[in-house]
Chains A and B, each alone.
Chain A
Amino acid sequence: MTAPTATAATAATAATAATGTVREPLLVGNGQGFWGDTIAGPMRLVREGPLHYLTLDYLAEVTMSILHKARRRDPAAGYATDFVKLLAEILPECHERGIRIIANAGGVNPRACADAVGALAARLGRGGLRIGVVDGDELVGRVGALVDGGELFTNLDTGENLAPQLGRLQSANAYLGAWPIVDALRDGADIVITGRCTDASLTVAPIAHEFGWSPEDHNRLAAATVAGHIIECGAQCTGGNFEGWRDVRGWATIGYPIVEAYADGSFVVTKHRGTGGLVNCDTVTAQLLYEIADPRRYLTADVVADFTSIELHDDGPDRVRVTGVHGVAPTPTYKVSCTLQAGFKAVGQLTVPGPDAVEKAQLTADILFDRLALQRVHFGAAERLVEVIGAGVCLAPGAPAAFIADPPEVVLRIAVQSADRGAVDRFGSELASLLTSGPPGLTGFAGGRPKPSDVLEHWPALVAKTAVNPQVEVREVPA
């Protein structure tokens, strides 16, 4: 176990000199793992114990595409509206207790989000509240020019260059880092609203700001990045989605995660006392391994963190101490998340009772596609997917056959996609009639006929940091 105590003392001294007071440990809680996560998480973080910073992560890759679409319909839309609803509940208490809020709720329209938050704050009588806005991550209007200037936006998964696909481009956003957020905090922002940024940077920013770290403090930035990675999915490190689920207690009141950060970069992962859920070395390990590739090179805009250096220590009930994290300088590029229009899709489901549920489900799907073919509606092998849920959809092909016996019922799930919206629409229209013109007992046709929705292809790429200009603005709510 390594404990860089000498550097810790130095950092603490520096921060004390800069601000006069250093809160150590600094308490940073994350109350939202994605847009759609429960509002109860952040409310519990604010109301059920001490907290200095509340972070809220709203943006998944697919969320950005949805927000782009919303903004095309309405120029004042394109941000996570849940954030404003949450603030209506917690803003007065946060403001009074000095809990600062950092959220990537800005989506593709951080300024519109700040407008809405400003209006809410004024209604709540919060004159003087300072709202920071970070943007400049959006590149969609500049991609063509950047491609002309030599940026390839090579797809990190497939190796293809973006140029031939520019006509299908729907969105392009760089993952900004912690420093623009730090700038807003330094300028006194009580709330910081960002667009796309590295999820972990929401956590790195307040810790780096409070302890006065510099962009060259690679080990400590790596440690804060690890802290951010652990808490960025909310309850996934406090007992949610955990293999040891039988040990988890108090599911209904599951606590959202809190990092107790120290100036030396070490931190404790915990949750408020009295909340449900579970924090131990296993729940933390699970989240450390979530959505990573090479553990020696966990890349963010701020640092390259080495996950093989992480040391976890049992620190008592619902507490895990993390030490020893190493990092090196970040790369000269930002990750860019692009989305491309890729046609339309629809998904429909029917419940098929046994006996012979699996065989009847397969027949039902065959009948459907045969009928569509008679109407000259065709879906290629890659454009259709038939899943018999209950007969091994979540099993690996190499799993023992004994698992797939004769289920009492299955759910037939059929998905199609096509460049032709009309073809996808025809699929939706044919599904219901199978109830009366297919094998016996078909049921569970709920939710109406499946409607076509846009397919958005994710295109991960890199762009030179020099090509991106993060912007920071801090506004004050009028008294």
Chain B
Amino acid sequence: MSTPETARSPLGSIALARSGDKGAHANIGVWVASSEAYAFVLHSLRPAVVAAHFAIPVAHVDRYELANLRAVNFVLRGVLGTGGGSASLRTDAQAKAYAQALLRLELDIPSALLDAAARPPFTKGSR
């Protein structure tokens, strides 16, 4: 539930992402601009949440952490079907659009993280 300290907002308000295919699997990398935002992502962007968003079994979602990049990498196993992108009938056979789809996920995001300074694009600063 949204509270005075949080606001229901898409993940894309605080994060950037890129997706692609790896055989039958899709991967989505998500990263944020600050350690506070990263702590929030680690806590709230759980495999179960991502699985529900894409309507796939939670057992098919692996999450890997890259603290050095303030990033998490999701692997959605088997979502592109046996045989991978080259055998798929879909428009998005190579999961190019999955990152866009994940960034629409609505979360109760702390208002402090939604301040302009913490929002993408993060054109300044090192990792």
Contact = CB atoms under 8 A, between A and B. Distances in A.
B75 interface: yes
Contact of B126 (A61, A314, A395): A314
B104 A395 contact: yes
Given A287-B18, A288-B69, A413-B91, A282 B55 contact: no
Contacts, number: 183
B43 interface: no
A238 interface: no
Interface stretch (A183-191, A240-248, A434-442, A464-472): A240-248
A399 B101 contact: yes
Contacts of B22: 291-293
Nearest to A460: B23
15 contacts: A247-B123, A281-B126, A285-B16, A285-B29, A286-B29, A289-B73, A291-B22, A293-B62, A312-B127, A339-B86, A342-B83, A394-B97, A394-B100, A396-B53, A396-B101
A157 B18 contact: no
Contacts of A456: 83, 86-87
Contacts of B31: 282, 285, 289
Contact of B106 (A157, A313, A400): A400
Contacts of A309: 68
A455 interface: yes
Interface centre among A282, A286, A289, A395 (most CB of B within 10 A): A289
A156 B126 contact: no
Given A282-B122, A288-B69, A62 B29 contact: no
B57 interface: no
A361 to B, nearest CB: 14
A290 B29 contact: yes
Contacts of B105: 396, 398-399
A243 B86 contact: no
Given A290-B29, A398-B54, A457 B86 contact: yes
A309 B67 CA distance: 9
* B contact face: mostly helix, strand, loop, or mixed: mixed
A243 B23 CA distance: 24
Interface in B70-122: 71, 73, 75, 78, 82-87, 89-92, 96-106, 120-122
Contact of B24 (A157, A290, A310, A393): A157
A243 B97 contact: no
B21 A291 contact: yes
A45 B99 CA distance: 29
Contacts of A62: 85-86
A476 interface: no
Given A285-B127, A289-B29, A396-B53, A61 B69 contact: no
Nearest to B75: A293
Interface in A177-220: none
Interface residues of B, number: 58
Given A393-B91, A396-B54, A457-B82, A156 B23 contact: yes
A244 B101 contact: no
A124 B97 CA distance: 44
B39 interface: no
Contacts of A310: 68-69, 127
* A contact face: mostly helix, strand, loop, or mixed: mixed
A280 B123 contact: yes
A397 B50 CA distance: 11
Interface of B: 12, 16-18, 20-25, 27, 29-31, 52-55, 62, 64-69, 71, 73, 75, 78, 82-87, 89-92, 96-106, 120-127
Given A396-B104, A458-B85, 10 more contacts: A157-B84, A241-B18, A285-B31, A291-B22, A311-B68, A399-B101, A416-B89, A457-B86, A458-B87, A459-B83
Contacts of A158: 24, 82
A53 B117 CA distance: 40
A225 B31 CA distance: 22
A293 B25 contact: yes
A457 B18 contact: no
B103 to A, nearest CB: 7
Nearest to A247: B121
Contacts of A389: 91
B16 A243 contact: yes
Contacts of B29: 285-286, 288-290, 292
Interface string A267-310: 00000000000001110011111111111100000000001111
A65 interface: yes
Nearest to B96: A241
A397 B54 contact: yes
A312 B127 CA distance: 5
A62 B88 CA distance: 12
B100 A307 contact: no
Nearest to A317: B123
B64 A393 contact: no
A6 B100 CA distance: 44
Contact of A394 (B66, B68, B83, B92): B92
A154 B66 CA distance: 29
Contact of B120 (A156, A243, A385, A396): A243
A286 B16 contact: yes
Nearest to A314: B126
B86 A458 contact: yes
Nearest to B16: A243
A391 interface: no
A258 interface: no
A417 interface: yes
